[in-house]
Amino acid sequence: MQIPGPPPKGSLIEGHNPLGMWAMKLPSADTVVVKRTVSTFIEHPEGLPGAEETPGYAKHRKNFWFCVKPAHFGVNIASRSLMIPMCFLIIGLLIGLLAKFPLGRYLLLKYPESFSAGLFSRAGPTDEEVKSAPPRSKCGLSGMATVMRPMHRSVSGPDVGYITTSIILVQCTLILLSQRGNLPKGGVYTPGAVFGPTDLQWRLQENGLSFDVHMTRSMR
């Protein structure tokens, strides 16, 4: 099995996309993780067998991965204002330049607020600031559905940096404790390769996250 077509090409910042917003490509670790997951899936089309998986789970695992289609993946930051991507670009270039030198790394660690326009802080937010954050944060995934219509999938949940991350870690731990025999024996794997066939998505939905698919009329 192969990923269909070459990777999509485009400029660093572009304004024509299904969301109708300005988007800028980000050199995110998420891209590497997803590509590793896709590589594992291509090498093991039926998924990774569990150490002591039950016959029922083995059948479920094969059916799950049979429905998964490999795809190209990238991370963008999107905004209706062009100024937001431009600010991220300038900050990213500054941090990347300073990180190359010992003095620059010292300054970044010592004064993160000054070199990130307040985006990063040594202290971190207080409990009050986390509670007062917007109730739901969203990230969008865009692509083409099997009927060749533009598709946008959104993942919504509470504060991403602290609350949502904690929910995901706790639920993954509970799956490891309760379903260990159905998971791979061991090794270095991505979360998608290990938890894909499990009930992780249902668990996350039961704890405040939602996964929605939206079909749009056209792409520009």
Interval 183-199: pLDDT, tens: 998 888 999 999 999 99
pLDDT at 6: 61
pTM > 0.95? no
Whether 105 has a pLDDT exceeding 50, the answer reads yes
pLDDT band at 104 (very low <50, low <70, confident <90, very high): very high
φ/ψ (deg, to 5) at 123: -80, -35
pLDDT band at 163 (very low <50, low <70, confident <90, very high): confident
Q: How many CB atoms lie within 10 A of CB 53?
A: 19
pLDDT at 145: 44
pLDDT at 138: 52
User: Does residue 8 fall inside a structural domain?
Assistant: no
User: Does residue 72 fall inside a structural domain?
Assistant: yes
pLDDT at 174: 97
User: Does residue 7 fall inside a structural domain?
Assistant: no
Number of domain units in the chain: 1
Which of the pair, 14 or 103, is modelled with greater confidence?
103
Q: Quick one: CA torsion of 7, 11, 15, 19, rounded to 10 degrees? A: 20
pLDDT at 146: 44
In 3D space, the residue among 95, 96, 138 whose CA is nearest the CA of residue 120 turns out to be 95
pLDDT at 55: 95
User: Does residue 191 fall inside a structural domain?
Assistant: yes
Q: How far apart are CA 155 and CA 51, in angstroms?
A: 31
pLDDT at 47: 93
Q: 51 near 183, Cβ under 8 Å?
A: yes
pLDDT band at 91 (very low <50, low <70, confident <90, very high): confident
Structural domain span for residue 177: 13-80+125-215
Whether 219 has a pLDDT exceeding 80, the answer reads no
User: Does residue 1 fall inside a structural domain?
Assistant: no
Whether 162 has a pLDDT exceeding 60, the answer reads yes
User: Does residue 56 fall inside a structural domain?
Assistant: yes
User: Does residue 147 fall inside a structural domain?
Assistant: yes
Whether 149 has a pLDDT exceeding 60, the answer reads no
User: Does residue 114 fall inside a structural domain?
Assistant: no
